[in-house]
Structure 1
């Protein structure tokens, strides 16, 4: 393996005690923007030391100052390298984006072993203009309580949350960052030959497939809007199944399905047996779906298999919130769309692991009973969950706009420096969802994830299906 190190080293004995940084914070891979560098700059301004390990070409282009080290070794050698680096540099905190990225899963275990605090961040539960920042990770690894009374007790002591949208995210800006970042990493073999991007699809293929969808987006949206309006006017009970991205880490490692088609098959079978004969089921594609998975073919085949071809509708576009407001219920694997559905009073049934899958918030009945007796969310429970999340594990802002990055980076730096992430009320371990995850056979450790990687769906399996 090849390692590039800074020539300048700081040692605790070379400076007066007053100048020794209170914390040494290491940043690993972030989102496709300069957001982590902004957080690091804010921490430095507070008197702390920051470091960065670059894993790929895009990482290096986003951040390559004196604080950076390039890791060019293999994923197999990564844990040993990282452990040595943490010890040598006296690292107190490791910060990373997407806790299920293999390098980050390994980092979490190394951090736990050394008593180093691990902070994971992601897109927010309370979107559109919030990010999530949690100790250890999200979903299965989240420390957010799974006991509603505990949540309500903690929330009562907190002030109300102003949910005014302040930092509007710009879709094209986020998409442009994603495209450039992933295309750059297609050339990692030149300078980071052993980097494992852990992608289901090659980025070049992904964007070639996405282009026709971008060009036809307006047409698809018009057709979808007409279908949605017709379904609402029909007054038939209508259930929604919003699809996630097949490449989504929440689906790959926090749900029991090798491919989303498995979840569709389970839902269609239950709907055919137990839903009212007049009920309709809408399968809505993710707005950023790349067009790689043959969802039309898959949905038609499964609907025919279960005898509900005329009751299942595939929607590619339109307004999801409009659908949710008029729906009898929504079924999803573990998308954060579930929180948006709950917010508008739509009953939700979660199939996988989700931090918001709580009694009083989502339906706790078996799926077969959900179709006839969907449990509506309790408004007080939702307000308590929202309040505790906002204060303990959410930060307002985003990763791409100037004002959104400034707000979120500054606040995240303050929370890292002050040790207030997951506080108040969400920092008690162990993670309460680990036992259920193990019972479902979900990967929990780094080794589990490596074993599970060969089981996730690949595009050609979908086309064959």
Structure 2
């Protein structure tokens, strides 16, 4: 019998539903909980609470994988401390390491890759691999739609149960570094601001789609705690990225162009950059050409944008779909010749490289077939569980252990879909 371990998953019941499905297929499932929220949403044949300290985790997970003859470990995100260490131990022991993440293509997909996601992906993203790929004809099967309220409900439950069981997990350190009280208050503030901005910013989108159409660059901000920022860029913070982009825009963009800075919706209640943006814009003498906004319809913005600058957000892939010239200031798997601007940021405003849309279509199908699962962690969960099971069982169902591919090599573990 094969055995698998689930560590921390996305908010909600996705990991529990997947564990039940694998158990019904004959796989022995294990769940390691790090706090009360994990325990509340968790399910497995065997559940264990990890109550040790950071320094003891490497030896604990190594011993657990060996003792229970584990064939695969599953995590949500590969950069959290517990997951990063688990990935290293899995690679040393020859245990498959499956990483789930928000969809590279949103909002109707979930990402699943073996051994790493985003800039840690082991998939071969070279142009030669994309060109030689023979599509299997997979096509998206559903539309998920907005998931804000489901996320919010799961977040509230998760942090409440984390608080209730805090005494049983005295050494747990959350990857966001905020208390459950602060987290809850931020979500309440997010509700308030969502309604507020719907009223106060209602005139911005018609202006961008009208008189400013084709005359603005879009900077979609990422979350303050995004591991994409911390791990896959050389930037110090979101504030640093804002400073860098405004300075470059002011010095190099045409005097008739505008810069639209869009706040990340999941960070709405956690931070606000209005004062910083106003200060930097005044310093650079572009205060009348910089617009800060929140919950504007992204596809409409992309339909009218002149270009897009991002650290490494998957919004960049959406921009390519809309044929919007795109510049990355971090590292991402889609930063390829023919897709994104190859020069530096200063040159982007003056002479942006166009999107090779034929290449993008090949890239998107390659990415979709190898890394995306139809469905969501928050809605249409059953579809994502079905797709994940089909991707996982060919590997863990045999009970075999599979060595990780070398970095940059095509993974042998993409089969099943």
Candidates 146, 153, 161, aligned match of 1:176: 153
Which residue of the partner structure matches residue 19 of structure 2? Answer: 40
Candidates 197, 206, 209, aligned match of 2:183: 206
Alignment of 1:436-447 (within 5 A): none
Structure 1 length-normalised TM: 0.82
Partner Cα separation in structure 2 for residue 191 and residue 84 of structure 1: 22
Which residue of the partner structure matches residue 450 of structure 1? Answer: none
Which residue of the partner structure matches residue 397 of structure 1? Answer: 375
Which residue of the partner structure matches residue 93 of structure 1? Answer: 72
Candidates 325, 328, 337, aligned match of 1:350: 328
Alignment of 1:209-228 (within 5 A): 209-228=186-205
Contact 1:330 1:347 in 2 (8 A): yes
Contact 2:111 2:373 in 1 (8 A): yes
Contact 1:58 1:185 in 2 (8 A): yes
Partner Cα separation in structure 2 for residue 62 and residue 279 of structure 1: 48
Check if 1:406 corresponds to 2:386: no
- Listed as ranges, the gaps of 5+ residues in structure 2 are 397-403, 410-417
Contact 1:200 1:247 in 2 (8 A): no
Deviation at 1:65, TM superposition (A): 5.4
Contact 2:11 2:155 in 1 (8 A): yes
Check if 1:117 corresponds to 2:93: no
Candidates 275, 295, 308, aligned match of 1:317: 295
Deviation at 1:188, TM superposition (A): 4.2
Deviation at 1:145, TM superposition (A): 2.3
Contact 1:144 1:355 in 2 (8 A): no
Candidates 280, 284, 299, aligned match of 2:258: 280
Check if 1:301 corresponds to 2:270: no
Candidates 56, 60, 68, aligned match of 1:77: 56
Partner Cα separation in structure 2 for residue 260 and residue 325 of structure 1: 25
Candidates 28, 31, 34, aligned match of 2:7: 28
Partner Cα separation in structure 1 for residue 201 and residue 138 of structure 2: 34
Structure 2 length-normalised TM: 0.91
Q: Number of residues paired by the alignment?
A: 401
Deviation at 1:169, TM superposition (A): 4.7
Deviation at 1:64, TM superposition (A): 5.1
Check if 1:158 corresponds to 2:135: yes
CA, structure 1 residues 151+64, in 2 after alignment: closer, same or farther (shift >3 Å)?
closer
Partner Cα separation in structure 1 for residue 256 and residue 49 of structure 2: 59
Contact 1:224 1:315 in 2 (8 A): yes
Partner Cα separation in structure 2 for residue 167 and residue 212 of structure 1: 26
Candidates 295, 298, 313, aligned match of 1:335: 313
CA, structure 1 residues 279+353, in 2 after alignment: closer, same or farther (shift >3 Å)?
same
Contact 1:188 1:195 in 2 (8 A): no
Partner Cα separation in structure 1 for residue 226 and residue 4 of structure 2: 27
State the secondary structure of the residue aligned to 2:97.
strand
State the secondary structure of the residue aligned to 2:390.
helix
Contact 2:30 2:44 in 1 (8 A): no
Partner Cα separation in structure 2 for residue 279 and residue 358 of structure 1: 26
CA, structure 1 residues 359+182, in 2 after alignment: closer, same or farther (shift >3 Å)?
farther
Candidates 398, 415, 418, aligned match of 2:391: 415
